[in-house]
Amino acid sequence: MATYETPLNPTLEPDQEPTRRDVILIAASGFAAIGAAAALWPLLDQMNPDQSMLSLATTEVDISHVEAGQAITVMWRGKPIFIRHRTDQEIGKAKDVKLDDLVDPLARNANLPDDAPATDDNRAAKDREPWLVMIGICTHLGCIPKGQAVGDYKGQFGGWFCPCHGSQYDTAGRIRLGPAPQNLAIPPYSFASDTKIKIG
């Protein structure tokens, strides 16, 4: 009887050179894994904001009726936008704050570079100092801070106070006290005219 040079099941032999079968096994399972991963992507990506969400990108707001000391809240992309017409006293208070005293030294203003410092100028509307336009969502866990209505408690810095976990914001919407890590975010916006703001 002739003796067989190759054993019947080559994969059981550890010292054997890779055989054709090994190559086929690795290639086939490799491709199966890639295919499975590719098929998984639509299942995950379907959860991201869809086209109809993305198309709700801009909102125009008439601010002609907002007197100094008043504030309005409008919706943009399902989020509340705080538009505050600040008094001179509130502006002064915000300007007096030293940058070193801030929890978050960045302006968080989508209209400025990411590293812009959180000065009052960088927080307020460009060349329209009384106007402050912000996303009214606490940067801690997403509650809506109090301070828009006249009778609201505005916290010890006179800006906004989040009732959920006690974060306090100053009159430029900067975080001063409490667990929130960032200043209230400023959305991309511009003044379409003296009395109209285009958000987004």
Partner 1 sequence: MAHPSTYQPGSGFERWLDARLPVVRVMHDQFVVFPTPRNLNYWWTFGGILTFMLAVQIATGVVLAMHYVPTPEGAFDSVERIMRDVNWGWFLRYTHAVGASMFFLAVYIHTVRGLYYGSYKAPREVVWILGVLILLLMIATAFMGYSLVWGQMSFWAVTVITNLFSSLDAVIPGLGTKLVEWIWGGFSVGGPTLNRLYSLHYLFPFVIAGVVLLHIWALHIPGNNNPTGIDVKSAKDTVPFHPYYTIKDGFALVAFIVLFAAIVFYAPNLLGHPDNYVPANPLQTPPHIVPEWYFLPFYAILRAIPNKLLGVAALMTSISILFFVPWLDTSKVRSTSYRPIYKWFFWAFVLTCIALGYLGSQQPEGWYLIFGRVCTIYYFAFFLVVMPVTGLIERPRALPGSITESVLGPEESGEIEETKNTKETKATPPPAARKRKREEVL
Active-site annotation, residues: 165
Type of residue numbered 111: N
DSSP 132-165: EEEE-S-TTT----B-SSTTS--TTTEEEE-TTT
Query: To the nearest whole angstrom, how small is the minimum distance from the Cβ of residue 175 to partner 1?
Result: 11
Rounded CA-CA distance 182/115 in Å is 13
Query: To the nearest whole angstrom, how small is the minimum distance from the Cβ of residue 106 to partner 1?
Result: 11
Question: Which residue matches tokens 């009384």?
Answer: 130
36 vs 44 by CB, closer to partner 1: 44
- DSSP secondary structure letter of residue 44: H
CA distances from 91 to 106, 134, 183 (A): 18, 15, 17
18 vs 166 by CB, closer to partner 1: 166
61 vs 124 by CB, closer to partner 1: 61
9 vs 55 by CB, closer to partner 1: 55
Helix, strand, coil content of the chain in percent (nearest 5): 25, 25, 50
Query: To the nearest whole angstrom, how small is the minimum distance from the Cβ of residue 107 to partner 1?
Result: 15
Query: To the nearest whole angstrom, how small is the minimum distance from the Cβ of residue 5 to partner 1?
Result: 45
Q: Residue 120 burial (CB < 10 Å; 0-12/13-18/19+)?
A: buried
148 vs 171 by CB, closer to partner 1: 148
Binding residues for partner 1, rule: CB under 8 A, are: 44, 47-50, 53, 73, 75, 77-80, 137, 140-146, 162-166, 179-181
Type of residue numbered 76: W
**H-helix or E-strand spanning residue 175:** strand 175-177
Query: To the nearest whole angstrom, how small is the minimum distance from the Cβ of residue 34 to partner 1?
Result: 23
